[in-house]
Chain A
Amino acid sequence: MPSDKTTDGRVERSLAILEKAREDFHSALVATSEELRGLLDAGSGSAEARAERTAAELGAFAVGHIDVDRFSAFEETGEPVAVTVAPKLEAASRTLQSLLDRGDDLFLVRAEAGKDLREVVSAGLARAGRAFGAARTVELARSGRYDEAQHGEWLDRFPPSLWSGRERKLAPPIVVEIEGTDLLAGGLADFLDGAQKIVLVVRGPAPPAELSRLITPGLMVVQAEDPADLSVLAETEGPAVAALLPDGAARFVHLPEDDGGRGRLTVNHMPEDEPKRALGRVSVYQQAEGLRHLASLAAGWGLAAAPAAAPSGDGAAAPAASTAADTLAAWILRQADLPETG
């Protein structure tokens, strides 16, 4: 594999492909920030400011039909923000503004060589996730349920493990610039939920089929050389992970399951040479296993070899059960429909 130590504009092109997801998150950020500013201003703002806000809230249909100055006089301004709560709301507002000020940088993480990919991604998402933390802080503070000991860190970091299902649907996309020797895909599975999109822009030699380990029915997984091949990411509403690798790596696209319940895997390129040397923590054997895994999925071997012992029924696949007790436990877990945490 030829060495490639630069990203040659691939970062910018990856960000461009994630434009819609970025805009969705950015719009939510703007709306939350303005809502919070409105809350802080309510009651304390001038009559003109209140009328201006009322005019905006009433929209275009009201123009010419409603006297917004009069209307705003009847708007509920809410109880004045309590003195003890106001500083926390101001802090949340500053957090949201600081995220807005970062612009595209909010969605980009440049990992130093040798860093653990899982930790890098977690930190990047926890940083952008402060938007969710700020919104939650406001809700809790206003309803008197804020507890500094429990919620005090949320404006500094709000990791994906705390995100609700709805927040995961609005997950900030992230582009991670990383050394090929640090490409260990396994840890990324923790984040691939909701609408999370992760693009890895890889510098230098990398394991040839590392992302094949992440292929699961509902997940879009792409390995490519040309950023244009990532355009499929913009078409999925679900989670997706992609890596832009140097020339010579496997190139494939796994589309999430369709109505028939089957994902569609297309392998565009398989390296001809067997891996010959370890790359970072990935041994030659592990690299070869990645390639074999991809080949087997492409050939349909993986589907045919699915464990036959899995109990039937609705819900997500459970671990294969070896005893009657395990079978019962697995069934109960599927039926329990446990609420999401966080």
Chain B
Amino acid sequence: MIMLRDVHKRFGSQTVLDGVNLDVQEGETLALLGPSGTGKSVLLKHIIGLIRPDSGTVVVDDEHVGKLKRKQLAALRSRIGYVFQNGALFDSMNVLENVRLGITDGDKYRNDEYATQRVAECLKLVNLAPEVVAKFPAELSGGMRKRVGIARAIAGSPKYLLYDEPTSGLDPVNADVIDSLVKRLDNELGVTSVMVTHDVRGAFRTADRLALLTGGKIVQQGSQEEFLKSRNPKVQEFLERDFPDATFAA
């Protein structure tokens, strides 16, 4: 379980997170919605310990992320797969080496036979042809880079998957492919997922639960139905463009 309590974060004079409270239950897929630049990615990076909060607590599997020592943090990260917005693939490595780095168990990582087989499995899961292993990131399209990023994130068989804007910058067809992929992976692998996005329709297609981050706070979290019935003007404003026919509760 992932739990954030009263998390505050400032960068210089800019307050990004202003008392965030959020729970992610085991096995569910939570979509974290919000306008661009509201700190969704910052919040996601708190969960994996890439950013530490100024105050408040981030707890993953009963471990306080901010208080973990180097090795403990590495162990926690090996249970979390993180899909970066632009893939964040290593330029100097081909797809095989990139995905292989996702195998977090040291012995398995060094076992060539296992690693090659695992990379092939992961690429198959994200609908990429086996021939792609020899290509370098610069030779891949945006959609393929995202899928390789997802393959790398699942290579270590993580318990949690964190997606940072998995469909941003993609055309609608490719965005739908990624959304379906996220949904399928969540079902097939049984992972707990948090997906940061500002694509409301995609979030409704893939997530069990939604949360809206705006003004540094989670202003609403709940099921899709609860969102559609919400009286919160910020929720209504955010959903209006994608669901113009929705009848928000008066």
Chains A and B bind each other: no
Q: Which residues of B contact A (CB under 8 A)?
A: none
